[in-house]
Amino acid sequence: MSDRPDRSSAQPLEFREATKRYPGTDTPAVDGLSLEVPAGEICVLVGPSGCGKTTAMRMVNRMIEITSGDILLGGRSVKDRKTAELRREIGYVIQHIGLFPHWTIGENIATVPKLQGWDKPRIDQRVVELLELIGLPPETRNRYPSQLSGGQRQRVGVARALAADPPVMLMDEPFGAIDPINRERLQNEFLRLQAELRKTIIFVTHDIDEAIKMGDRIAILQEGGKLAQYAPPAELLMYPASRFVEDFVGSDRALKRLALQRVRDIDLWTAAAIRTGTPVAEAREKIEEADVPYAMLVDEHGRPKGWLSDRALTGERVTEELRSPAQPLVELDDVLRDALADLLSSETRYGAVVDHKGALAGVLSLEVIQHFLHAAPAASPTGADLLSE
């Protein structure tokens, strides 16, 4: 990807008191929206229907004209640009995709490059490149949209938007018409793509879970087109700015935060890792130092075998007597929500955490998670961070 010569860098986007008022209506559709999207980030516009999120997005490429205020793309007002020219520089993906049924997939993808007057070899090369990027075989270019599945069409829609390598993309419920299983897959695929491409993206959805997953930043809009809060997902979940935001993100916002974090991101408790044959005195000392009052029997590679029983510590040296197996076993890379589920469905209070080699790395407990939820987030991880590891 990095050797692509035509790759343009992303540009920041800024809404400056952007307002849309339709004649004959009392309340504006979008009311003085001000927010900045740094270059290369996904900004999700989310809110209930009628909150003006789609209107706000469509003002960027002037599918809807701004009544007052301004939107700056790369520091330049979109109002100063010719609409057709502006739109060709902004990728556009909509829920119903809107592929042209009378054009082949290749022709569909080449829409904007053709409008920009690229020569044929360059267009051909770009089409092949994009098909590869979205994981479709090159011969797909000769097929028609009606011959593709919904998921494939959606991918083509994304490829078409990326074709001329725009610095900014607008995506209006792009996965809204896809079934839940394929939606999740497409979301993950897109986040991987974005990790490489780093476009500035305005992403519209009504689904708060999708917003939390996709957004580097989330703008929650409420009725009347007012911005209720603009923050990274973790911050939004931690500190909802109003009753409206709190209700909108849902009563399970604590769980949603856990879905954004991995086990390695939080301060785990320590447990004494003891091997069979260790002098009991030494073992007891280790247990004293650890956070957990129980010791974990480990093998020569440090892999947990089970929690030691009190009887194992009665003699000279530690014997292999276990009170319980090392269950549940949690990995450092597990998402916290899944680790919590494991913990809740097991009978023990502690979950042994292992690194990628299987060696004991710490202990997870309900208290640890609770403590994490009450502490301020150090960093603000996003759905994309989870995928990129």
- Which residues bind to another protein, rule: CB under 8 A? 61, 63, 83-89, 92, 94-104, 111-112, 115, 143-144, 146-148, 160-161, 170
- Nearer to another protein by C-beta: 7 or 96? 96
Spell out the alpha helix ranges (H) of 12-119. Answer: 53-60, 83-88, 105-109, 111-115
Q: Residue 301 Cβ, how far from another protein at the closest point, in Å?
A: 52
Q: Residue 331 Cβ, how far from another protein at the closest point, in Å?
A: 41
End-to-end CA distance of the chain: 19
- Nearer to another protein by C-beta: 153 or 303? 153
Q: Residue 64 Cβ, how far from another protein at the closest point, in Å?
A: 11
What backbone phi and psi angles, to 5 degrees, belong to 215?
Answer: -85, 140
Q: Residue 114 Cβ, how far from another protein at the closest point, in Å?
A: 10
Residue 330 CA to its chain's centroid (Å): 22
- Nearer to another protein by C-beta: 63 or 359? 63
- Nearer to another protein by C-beta: 41 or 107? 107
Cβ 163 vs Cβ 110: under 8 Å: yes
What's the burial of 37, exposed, middle or buried (CB within 10 Å: 0-12/13-18/19+)? buried
Give the distance between the most distant pair of CA atoms in the chain.
Answer: 89
What's the burial of 334, exposed, middle or buried (CB within 10 Å: 0-12/13-18/19+)? buried
- Nearer to another protein by C-beta: 13 or 97? 97
Report DSSP state, residue 373: H
Stretch (H or E) spanning 243: helix 243-249
Q: Residue 58 Cβ, how far from another protein at the closest point, in Å?
A: 8
- Nearer to another protein by C-beta: 178 or 336? 178
Q: Residue 95 Cβ, how far from another protein at the closest point, in Å?
A: 8
And the tokens for 126?
């770009």
Give the strand pairing for 217-222 and 360-365: unpaired
Instruction: Write the DSSP assignment of 374-386 as a string of letters.
Output: HSPPSS---HHHH
- Nearer to another protein by C-beta: 61 or 187? 61
Q: Residue 83 Cβ, how far from another protein at the closest point, in Å?
A: 8
